[in-house]
Each structure stands twice: as structure tokens, then as C-alpha cells.
Structure 1
Amino acid sequence: MTNHVVLFRGINVGGKNMVPMSELGQLLKEMGFGNVATHIQSGNVILRSQLAEDALARTIEKKLGAAFKLDGSAVKVLALTGKRFQAIVDDRPAGFGDVPDMYHCDAIFLMGITAGEALPAFSPLDGVDTIWPGDGVIYSQRLSARRTKSRLNRMMASPLYKSMTIRSWGTTMKLLEMVRQQTGGAS
């Protein structure tokens, strides 16, 4: 069995597609996944499974739609092995996430599209926004003092946004910590 980070897109946002994390955790346990642990309400789960990433995501998506009343067009699931999640953290740009008082940093996880395909949805504002493409992720950094000027929300208006899910860098690091705890320090 392999550790996975499972990210849910489109649940518990703006009062729509409400899925209580306790019920989601229970559903995943009933599906036979091991060491299920949830983190905050936005849809973050750590679990163990024998399934490959894509098969795991599709299996959960099917069950999720059957178990909860959801707008299926908005909900997607992304599963990443603990090793792949670790690589996303390791491959971040130099200094990314290291100065949270100065910059707000997000990992924008890509679902079925490449970074090259996703980049046209972004229009960073010089001096405020910086983005870097990664493997399965876009790293986004905003100058906190000018955060209200950020153009990140323009990306959210793009049809490509349906193939992305955003996690703050703090949440990303917490999920990595949870994976490490389940594996005794290794991802």
C-alpha cells in the first residue's frame, strides 16, 4: 500500500457541494483505504491505497457523487503519491514559501492539464504576482502588501480553472507533514 495525498476540488466552497470531512473520512474507510486522515474543510485527505494515482482519483470521484448531493461538473479529485507530493515541495522555486510575512504563496495543482497548457490562464501583475511552472503544479506568489492588486482571480475566470485546485503553501506543507507522520518520516 502506498501513501497518497488526495485533493478535492469544488467541495465545501461558498456553501456549495457540502461534504462533512468526518463523513468523507468514513466513506473512504468503508471503501477499504487505510490510514485515512482529513485536514481542514476544503477537501484534503491522506490515505493508503494499492491503486495508482489516476485509478484512485476516479474511484473516489465515482463514490463521492453517489454518496453526497454534488454538482458533479464542479467536483474533481486529484490523487498524488506521497513521493510525488514530496517532489512538488522539493522542486519549488528557491525561497518559495520561506517569507510568509512578505509573500502569500500557493500551490496550484493541475488536474489533467500540463503547466504549459495552464499558463495562458495567468496574467501576473509585475511587482505583485510571480508564477513558476512545475511538474503538475503552478507555484504562485503574491506580494502581501499589494495582495489586493493581484491578478490571480483572473485565472479563476478562465475555463482552465476547472482543471486546477489551489492550496496555500501552509496547507501544502501540513499535508506533507501528515504523510511523513504516517510513514515514520519518509514520504
Structure 2
Amino acid sequence: MDTYLILLRGINVGGKNKVPMAALRKLLEDLGFAGVSTYIASGNVILDSDKHADEIKTRIEKALPEAFRLDSELIKVLVLTRRQLQAVVDNKPKGFGEQPDQYHSDAIFLMGIDSTHAMPVFNPRDGVDKVWAGDGVIYSQRLSAQRTKSRLSKIVGTPAYTSMTIRSWNTTTRLLELLQRP
């Protein structure tokens, strides 16, 4: 059995697509997944399975709208191995996420698109935003003192945004720690 990180896009955001974590854990256990745990209510799940990542994704994407009343068709699932998440952390830009008092840093995980197609929707404001393309991820950093001037929110209205899910860098590194559980 392998351990996977499941990132759910579009749940528990702005009061929409409410999915209680206890009910989500039960649903995934009922689907035959083992060792199911969640981390905060933003759609982070760790589970064990003998299935391939593509099959896990398909099963969860099918089951979610059947089990929960979802307001949107924008629910998507990303399945990552520990090795894949480790690569996201290891390949971060130099200094990224290392000054949390000065910068707000996010990992923007890509779902079905690559960074070449995702990067054009970003329009970083000089002196406020920085973005870097990675493998399956966009690294985004905003100067905390000027967060209200950030242009990151402008990606929300773009078609590419439906193929992204955002996690803070703190959450991303914590998820990696949780994936390394015994």
C-alpha cells in the first residue's frame, strides 16, 4: 500500500461546497481507502491505497458530488505521492517561504495543466508579488505589508484558475511532514 496526499479543489471556500471533514473521512473509508486523515478543513487528505493515483482521483471525483451537496462543478482532485510533494518543497526558489514575517508564500498546485500554460495568467505587481514556475506548481510570494496591492486574486476569473488549488507554504510543508508518518 502507498500513502498519498489528496488535495481537493473548491470545497469549504467562502461558505460554499461545505464538506465536513468527519463525513469526508467516512466517505473515503467507505470507498476502501485506509489510514484516512484530514488536515484543516480546506481539503487536505492523507490516505493509504493499493490503487494507482489516476484511479484514486476518478473514484473521489465521482463520489464527492454523490455524497455532498456541492454548489459548483469546479470540484477537482489532485493526488500526490510523498515523493512528488517532496520535490515541490525541495525545488522551491531560493529563499522562498523562509521569511514568513515579511512574505506570504503559497504553492499553487496545477491540476491537468502545466506551468507553461498557467504562468501567463499571473501579472505580478513590481515590488509586491513574485511568481516562479515549477514542476506541477507555481510558487507565489507577496510582500505581507502590501498584500492588499497584490494581483494574485486576479487569477480567479481566468479559465486556468479552474485547474489550480492553492495552499499556503506553511500548510504545504506541514502536509509533507504528515506524509512522512510511520
Return the TM-score normalized by structure 1: 0.94
Task: Specify the alignment match of 1:95 in structure 2.
Answer: 95
Bigger CA drift: 47-56 or 103-112? 47-56
2:51 is the alignment partner of 1:51: yes
**Structure 1 stretches of at least 4 aligned residues deviating more than 6 Å after TM superposition:** none
| Residues 128-179 of structure 1, C-alpha deviations (whole Å, 9 max, x = no match) | 1000001100000001111111000111121110000000001111111110
| TM-fit CA distance, 1:52 | 2.1
Query: Percent same amino acid among aligned pairs?
Result: 57
Structure 1 Cα separation of the partners of residues 56 and 89 of structure 2 = 22
For 2:22, the equivalent position in structure 1 comes to 22
Q: Give the match for residue 163 of structure 1.
A: 163
Equivalent-residue separation in structure 2 for 1:164 and 1:100 (angstroms): 23
Q: Secondary structure at the match of 1:174?
A: helix
1:141 corresponds to: 141
User: Letter of the aligned partner of 1:74 in structure 2?
Assistant: L
- The CA deviation at 1:54 is 2.2
Shift of 1:72: 4.7
Report the TM-score when normalising by structure 2: 0.97
Q: Secondary structure at the match of 1:147?
A: helix
Equivalent residue number for residue 114 of structure 1: 114
* Corresponding residue number in structure 2 for 1:179: 179
For 1:63-78, what aligned pairs fall within 5 Å after superposition? 63-78=63-78
Contact 1:65 1:72 in 2 (8 A): no
Gap runs ≥5 in structure 2: none
Equivalence for 1:84: 84
Report how many aligned residue pairs link the two structures: 182
Task: Describe the SS at the equivalent of 2:180.
Answer: helix
Using the alignment, how far apart are the partners of 1:59 and 1:176 within structure 2? 23
Residue of structure 1 in register with 2:105 after alignment: 105
State the alpha-carbon separation in 1 of the partners of residues 41 and 171 from structure 2.
11
- Alpha carbons 1:5, 1:45 under 8 Å: kept: yes
